[in-house]
A and B are shown apart, each in its own frame.
Chain A
Amino acid sequence: MQDLGIRVLFMGNNFIRLLKGLGVALKISLTAVILSVVLGILLGMVMTLKNPVTKCITKIYLESMRIMPQLVLLFLVYFGLTKSFGINLSGEISAVIVFTLWGTAEMGDLVRGALISIPGHQYESGAAIGLTKLQIYRYIIMPQTLQRLTPLAINLTTRMIKTTSLIVLIGVVEVLKVAQQIIEANRYTVPDSALWIYGTIFFLYFIVCWPISTMAGWLEKKWKN
């Protein structure tokens, strides 16, 4: 029983390293989330325009981002750009770019959905009490859009956090990479460390994502009309 794999966790600064790895993953995903929210709101507003040109372009963008596996997109940006255009991006920057591209598309679609779900008479009854266009957006449309959007955006956030685990494949040293290093280093002394280390990562992701998901559910219930 001396050889329980869990002791790997507490050897040296392994646990701290895992947490730091998680920090890298979170930093990348949260940066991408923030950029995606800002750009996605703009995209979503553009998507509600009746202009056929913007409609077509945004549709192509959205669908291609959805159809393409994020991993392919990562390879495309990280390896493709380097080879073809001589642009040398670090793994982290590539990851932020890819997840922002993807997140913006998803977020844009959520924003579009939330915006068009506000019934037209909400605009009219705002106008009828003398509110200006800007005030109608500020006091009536935006708050309702945000209410509908927030739970969905939070769910997207957790999806993005989880999907960042792919970036191990373009060599970013995040939590999974650290795990692999630890497991490799202890391959002979602690053969079953993989279970314990990956198990720990499972719980780390759970600890990060579960409160976020719960909050989304709670907000959804609270704002249900």
Chain B
Amino acid sequence: MRARIPIPPAVIGLAMFLAIWEVLSLWVHRPILPSPVTVVPIFAAGIFGDLGQHFLASAGRVLAAMVLSVVTAVPIGLGLGQMQRIDRIFAPLIAIVYPIPKIVFLPVIYVLMGITDLSKIFLISLIIFFQILVVVRDEAANLPPELILSVRSLGAGRRALFRFVYLPASVPVVLTALRLSAGTAVAVLFIAEQSLTTYGLGYYIVVETYQVLRYPEMYAGILAMGLLGLLIYFAIQGLEARFTRYQKRNDA
């Protein structure tokens, strides 16, 4: 059982993080590792200006990728989970493609789709797509037959089963898959944004600050990207807690 992290541990965690950072920066004592005392004000000023725009660009891409992968992977996963004959045809392909780190397709996607935001969003959604596809398929395939038969006996056809059984059954696993792939999604975003764009935290961190030795600003960018990952993670965790209330106290 996963409890929502209450405020105090998060505050303690943040304080420890900043303390270790400060100690390290004192110890290294070089421009490459500025103190949080320098970085945090830059971050605070930038997040409502230039840095904030990069943040929004990155956040927009990740969220678009999440939406794109959910709306495509959930129906396909539910379909495969219910139609075993078709699933058997595609299962080997999915088993092969699923573990491939999708970042290797970056050049292919750029060449085929062009250098637009869409190609970056597509690359990220490719990662999340397979994570969701697999868990939704398995969830749909493993629903108890008595459940399906009972609801069918109430008059439910394919559409009602989808709406009242398969869809709600897949919400918790979709959220878990999203949360677990959030880290990878942000990581791939970071790489994808390093080229062929002028907005996004990846661009800001690597091109605008790192390559021109603006280290304090670079760290502000890293903070922003870390914050993006954290916010996504905790937002999904909050949703999960809401949608899995019925699972609590089950073992009691």
Whether chains A and B associate is: no
Q: A interface vs B, CB < 8 Å?
A: none
Q: B interface vs A, CB < 8 Å?
A: none
